[in-house]
Amino acid sequence: MKIMVTWSIRPENFKAAIARFKEKGAAPPAGVELLGRWHETGTGDGFALFEVTDPAVFTGFLMGWSDLVDQKAVPVVEDADIVANL
Statement: residue 5 has pLDDT above 90: yes
Q: Which domains does the chain have, with CATH numbers?
A: 2-84 (3.30.70.1060)
The per-residue pLDDT for range 19-46, each reduced to its tens digit, is 999 998 899 999 999 999 999 998 999 9
- pTM (predicted TM-score): 0.89
Q: Tell me the C-alpha distance between 14 and 23, whole Å.
A: 14
39-72: per-residue pLDDT in tens? 999 899 999 999 999 999 999 999 999 999 999 9
Distance CA 68, CA 36 (A): 21
Please provide the distance, in angstroms rounded to a whole number, between the alpha carbons at the two ends of the chain.
Answer: 19
